[in-house]
Chains A and B, each alone.
Chain A
C-alpha cells in the first residue's frame, strides 16, 4: 500500500462521491422546503408587505415546495436503493445499525461529559448520536413524504385523514427544522473545534487527527485491515503532487 509517510497526515473518506451528492441534494431540497413551507406561517402583517405580488409569490411558493418535495422523495428512494444495491451502501447500513454497544457508549459519553471519565468512549464509524440522527431523518422524511403526498392528492382523501396529515406535516416540519438547526448544525459545524464550518460535507474527507479523535475504533480497524484502507484512506483520486501518496492537510486547505 502506498500510504502517506509518517510525517504526513493521511486523509480519510467519510462520505464517498455518491453520499456527498445525496447529502447535497437533500440539503438543498430541505432548505427550499423549509423556506417555502414556513412562508405559509408568516404573520399577515409581513405578507401584506408583498403588496399586490403576494398572490403570485405564494402561487410560485406552492409549486416550488411541491417540486422540492418531489426531489427529496426521489433522493430518499435513491438512497434506499443505494443502501440495498451497492456495496458501499450495504456497508453504510451495516455500520449504521443500532447495537447494544451504542447504549454503553452513550452512558460512557455522559460520564465523560460530567467529568467522571477521563476519555470519551472509542466510537466506531458512526457514534450513537449519528445513529439517532440518521434514524430521526428516516422517520421524519417518511412522515413528511407520506403526509405531503396525502395533502398533494387532497381530493382523494377524507377530511379526517387530511387534517391529521396537515397536523403531522406542520409539527414534524417544526421538529425537523429545530433538530437540524440546533443539533445537526452544532454537531457538524458549531462545535468549538469545528467552528465556523466543517468542510467535510463538501470534500467528503477528514484528517487523520480528527479521525483518531472522533472515531478511534474505526481508525484502528482501518489501520489493521488493508482492505478497509483501500476504501477509507484517500490514495488514488487525490494525490500529493510531491510524494504521490495521500494528500496532506496543506493540500486540503489549498483545495478548498
Chain B
C-alpha cells in the first residue's frame, strides 16, 4: 500500500514538474503581493502632478526575463503597504531587497555600486565632499540603467544563441530545481558579458556626452559619442558587432567596476595620459600595437583648438575638393554650351575683314 502511495506521489510529482517546466516562463516572477492583478492591463496609466503621462503597465512576460524578475515588487517599491495604494515614490536603488548575496549571505543592495560611483568622475561631489557645479547634471542609477533583460549565452558548441539545453542537462546532475537552474544559468551567462551591446552603451553615454549644452557647462568637448561613431569602432558598433570596444572598454581599468570611471586627468584613470597607451595593446584588441597608438586624441573633432593638424587637413581637403570641382563644373558648362549652341558667345568675336 505504501509502495503504491509512493509511486502515485512520484508520478504526480513528475507530472507537476513537467507541467511546471512547460509553463516556466510564467512562473518566473515574484508577484507575491499580486500586483499584476491591476498592472497587467496595458492601458493602466495616470497623469502625474507635473502633467506627465505615467504608464503603469507591466508586461509580465518581459519582466520575467529581466534581471529583477526574482525581486518581488515590494522589494523596490517599499512604500507600498496596501492595495489600492497611493502614488508610489521613486525607487531607491540602494534599498536592501530580499535577495541574499550567496558569497556573503548578506541581504543584497546596490550600496557598494553607489560608493564606487561617489568616487568616480560621475559623482556630483568632489573629492572633498563639496558639490560640483551643476550637480543635477550628474547621473544617478536610473539615468543609465533600466531593468536589463537576460541575454543568456549558449555553450552548446557555439551553435545557437540563448539557453543551451545540453548545458542545462549538466546542471540537472546536481541541481534539482529547474526554477533555480534557469535563473542561475540566465544570471551567470548574462553577466559573463555586458547586458547591453556596444551600440546601446554608446547611446546611453550619448544622452549626456552628446548634449552640447550640458557638456559646455562642464567644460568638456562636445559629442564624444558622435566622434566614437565616426571611428571604425563606432561603425562596427552600428553593425551590432559585440567584439569591438565600447566606451567602457577604454574608460574603465580592466577588472574594475564600470562605476569606478575616473577623469582622464586622474593618474589612476585608464585613459590618463600615462595609461592610455596600454589600452589598445591588450591581448584581446591590438596586441602588437605600440604604446603610442592611443596617445593622440581619440575623440578628435573638427575643432581648431582641440586638433589643429586635423582641422587644417580637413580645411585643405574641403578647399581642394571645392577648388577642383567648381572650375571643372564651369568648364563642363561652357563646353556643353559651346557644343549645343555653336554660334553663341559671351565675348563678341572680331569680324573678319575680307
Contact = CB atoms under 8 A, between A and B. Distances in A.
Given A114-B334, A179-B328, A182-B332, A156 B288 contact: yes
Given A58-B236, A175-B321, A182-B328, A163 B296 contact: yes
Interface string A55-71: 10010000000000000
Contacts of B339: 191-193
Contacts of B297: 159, 163
B340 to A, nearest CB: 6
A164 B317 contact: no
Interface string A37-51: 000100010010000
Given A54-B239, A156-B288, A179 B324 contact: yes
B215 interface: no
Interface residues of B, number: 47
Nearest to B241: A55
B317 A171 contact: yes
Contacts of A191: 335-336, 339
Contacts of A129: 331
B294 interface: yes
Contact of B295 (A113, A159, A178, A186): A159
Is the interface on chain A under 10, 10 to 19, 20 to 34, or 35 or more residues? Answer: 35 or more
A36 to B, nearest CB: 13
Interface string B139-175: 0000000000000000000000000000000000000
A178 B296 CA distance: 31
Given A154-B286, A159-B296, A182-B325, A113 B334 contact: yes
A203 B290 CA distance: 51
B317 A175 contact: yes
A188 B257 CA distance: 61
Contact of B338 (A113, A155, A186): A113
Contacts of B191: none
Interface string B284-304: 001111101111111010000
Given A113-B331, A115-B349, A158-B290, A47 B239 contact: yes
Interface in A135-175: 136, 154-160, 162-164, 167-168, 171-172, 174-175
Given A113-B334, A114-B347, A115-B344, A171 B238 contact: no
Contacts of B329: 182
A117 interface: yes
Interface stretch (B41-49, B97-105, B307-315): B307-315
A198 to B, nearest CB: 14
B286 A167 contact: no
Contact of A172 (B241, B317, B328, B349): B317
Given A115-B347, A158-B293, A174-B321, A183 B310 contact: no
Contacts of B314: 167, 171
A241 interface: no
B349 A117 contact: yes
Nearest to A106: B331
Contacts of A167: 310, 313-314, 317
B296 A183 contact: no
A174 to B, nearest CB: 6
A211 B294 CA distance: 57
A171 B290 CA distance: 26
Given A156-B288, A192-B336, A114 B346 contact: yes
A129 B321 CA distance: 17
B309 A112 contact: no
A224 interface: no
Given A55-B239, A179-B324, A186 B309 contact: no
B320 interface: yes
Contacts of B349: 115-118
A116 B345 contact: yes
Interface string A218-240: 00000000000000000000000
Interface in B94-150: none
23 contacts: A40-B235, A44-B238, A55-B239, A110-B334, A112-B338, A113-B331, A114-B347, A115-B344, A115-B349, A116-B345, A116-B347, A118-B349, A155-B289, A156-B288, A159-B292, A163-B307, A171-B313, A172-B317, A174-B321, A175-B324, A182-B328, A183-B332, A191-B336
| Leading 3 A-B pairs by shortest Cβ distance | A115-B345, A171-B317, A159-B296
Interface of B: 235-236, 238-241, 286-290, 292-298, 300, 307, 309-310, 313-314, 317-318, 320-321, 324-325, 328-329, 331-332, 334-340, 344-349
